[in-house]
């Protein structure tokens, strides 16, 4: 299922979405649910606005995607299970923050809870599942931004998208946007129907709405898990977490912990005393203090690692978020990092990346007034 949303196309054409929708309506285009446009319609609209469409070879897109592939051949027989990484998205005020707060408070052991001194943009909770206590990583950055910015840069760190829909409000624009993000990234969706404690809450109506846009609840024979919760009262949150773990189990999430680390930056900034600090999600291998990393255009030797509770750790394995001190520069969210064997190599790689970025930038400038259909992928 590929397509460009009307929002994305309007943005690319620098026109209002309303104007675009008006034009599409006049051409007889009708939507049922998601406002996704296929290639032919995108071309028709671009013609009207005198914008050239650059077609991109799907093979090339595939190739680019492979380059972002995180495993090497050598890893394949050494893969071990890794925790799932989850992003919570949904319309404003539907309860994302309340849900995250509840999960964090209830699932981070009381003794540890006091240790949450500073947010690092992600945290780890332990979920009882299948007779065990399994770790699960939640990204704390506002879901849409994290998805949008990282998707634009080709990064994919999320394994599961939890989309919160308020039972007294139903599907709203940012709900649709969240669904579109998750679909575009090929990430499985779990729906949390929230605020079931409220007067006027109608979970059935929400399920009806969702099925009308192609998300059929498991309860009704479809394949989308939907859990009815009250984030405020903590009702059914355990069900939600269990559902997330089931979806994770089906994905067979794996990585090779016994190799040098690779992963993605999810947050970065400049700290007055520590200098550049970045939160990494390790996606393959194990990151250790003393490792030499290249990260976007930044390089450095890892001086210290801090976990999601601000506690100093020596290493971080697959899926684990960790704050890194020791970079010479502030990288960007979505930048990939990897461990290399020397600072010279790190600098060379950083230089090559900077060069590639400059070229991309020049190409982008030359292509102004053109849309690349790779964004359809
Ligand atoms: P966000 O914008 O999606 O992060 O939404 P918030 O978590 O900030 O919640 C928006 C409002 O809805 C707040 O006033 C919450 O207290 C309230 N809220 C969130 N979850 C629930 C719920 O399960 N039941 C009720 N009654 N209110 C809720
Ligand atoms: Mg919020």
Query: Ligand 2 centroid vs 92 CA: distance in angstroms?
Result: 7
Write out pLDDT tens, residues 166-222.
Answer: 999 999 999 998 898 888 888 999 999 999 999 999 999 999 999 999 999 999 999
Three-state secondary-structure class, residue 37: strand
The least confident of 140-149, 153-162, 220-229, 240-249 is 140-149
User: Minimum-distance ligand to the CA of 141?
Assistant: 2
Judge whether residue 375 has pLDDT over 70.
no
Dihedral sign computed on CA atoms, order 245, 249, 253, 257: positive
Q: Which residues of 124-151 are buried (b: 16+ CB within 10 A; e: fewer)?
A: bbbbebeeeebebbbbbbebbebbeebb
Query: Ligand 2 centroid vs 96 CA: distance in angstroms?
Result: 5
Residue of 231, 235, 237 to mutate, ligand 1, most atoms within 8 A of C-beta = 231
Dihedral sign computed on CA atoms, order 185, 187, 189, 192: negative
Q: Does the Cβ of 231 fall within 6 Å of ligand 1?
A: yes
Q: How far apart are CA 288 and CA 309, in angstroms?
A: 17
Residue of 89, 91, 92, 93 to mutate, ligand 1, most atoms within 8 A of C-beta = 93
User: Minimum-distance ligand to the CA of 195?
Assistant: 1
Q: Is the ipTM of this complex over 0.90?
A: yes
Q: Give the residue, 11 or 216, on which the prediction is more confident.
A: 216
Judge whether residue 47 has pLDDT over 50.
yes
Cα dihedral value 29, 31, 37, 43, nearest 10: 10
- Burial grade of 318 (CB within 10 A; 0-12, 13-18, 19 or more): buried
The least confident of 298-312, 320-334, 353-367 is 353-367
Q: What is the pLDDT of residue 70?
A: 66
Q: Give the residue, 42 or 347, on which the prediction is more confident.
A: 347
User: Minimum-distance ligand to the CA of 90?
Assistant: 1
How is residue 285 annotated by DSSP? S
Q: What pTM value is reported for the model? A: 0.77
Which of 170, 287, 127, 198 minimizes the C-alpha distance to 279? 287
How is residue 218 annotated by DSSP? G
Residues 6+ apart with CB under 8 A from 261: 280, 282, 284, 285, 286, 287, 288, 291, 293, 316, 337, 338, 339
Write out pLDDT tens, residues 323-356.
Answer: 999 999 999 888 899 999 999 999 999 999 888 8
Minimal-distance CA residue to ligand 1 atom 19: 95
């Amino acid at each position: 299922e590929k397509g460009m949303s009307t929002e994305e196309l309007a943005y690319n054409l620098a026109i209002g979405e309303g104007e675009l929708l008006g034009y599409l309506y006049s051409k007889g285009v009708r939507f049922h649910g998601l406002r996704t446009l296929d290639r032919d319609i995108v071309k028709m609209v671009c013609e009207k606005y005198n914008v050239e469409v650059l077609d991109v070879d799907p093979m090339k897109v595939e190739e680019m995607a492979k380059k972002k592939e995180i495993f090497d051949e050598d890893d394949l027989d050494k893969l071990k299970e890794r925790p799932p990484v989850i992003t919570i998205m949904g319309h404003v005020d539907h309860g994302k923050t309340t849900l995250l707060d509840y999960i964090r408070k209830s699932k981070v052991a009381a003794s540890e809870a006091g240790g949450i001194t500073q947010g690092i943009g992600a945290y780890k909770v332990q979920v009882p599942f299948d007779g065990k206590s399994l770790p699960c990583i939640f990204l704390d950055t506002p879901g849409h931004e994290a998805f949008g910015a990282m998707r634009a840069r080709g990064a994919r760190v999320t394994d599961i998208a939890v989309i919160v829909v308020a039972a007294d409000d139903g599907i709203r624009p940012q709900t649709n946007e969240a669904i579109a993000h998750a679909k575009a990234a090929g990430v499985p969706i779990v729906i949390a129907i929230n605020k079931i404690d409220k007067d006027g809450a109608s979970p059935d109506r929400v399920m009806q709405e969702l099925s009308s846009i192609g998300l059929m609840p498991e309860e009704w024979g479809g394949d989308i898990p939907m859990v009815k919760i009250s984030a405020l009262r903590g009702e059914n949150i355990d069900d939600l977490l269990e559902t997330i773990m089931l979806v994770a189990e089906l994905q067979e999430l794996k990585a090779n912990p016994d190799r040098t680390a690779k992963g993605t930056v999810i947050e970065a900034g400049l700290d007055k005393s520590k200098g550049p600090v970045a939160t990494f999600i390790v996606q393959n291998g194990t990151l250790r203090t003393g490792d030499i990393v290249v990260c976007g255009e930044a390089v450095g030797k890892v001086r210290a690692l801090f976990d999601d509770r601000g506690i100093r750790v020596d290493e971080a394995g697959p899926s684990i978020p960790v704050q890194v001190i020791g970079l010479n520069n502030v990288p960007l969210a979505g930048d990939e990092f990897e461990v290399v064997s020397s600072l010279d190599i790190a600098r060379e790689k950083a230089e090559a990346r900077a060069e590639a970025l400059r070229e991309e930038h020049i190409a982008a400038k030359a292509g102004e007034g053109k849309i690349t259909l790779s964004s359809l992928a």
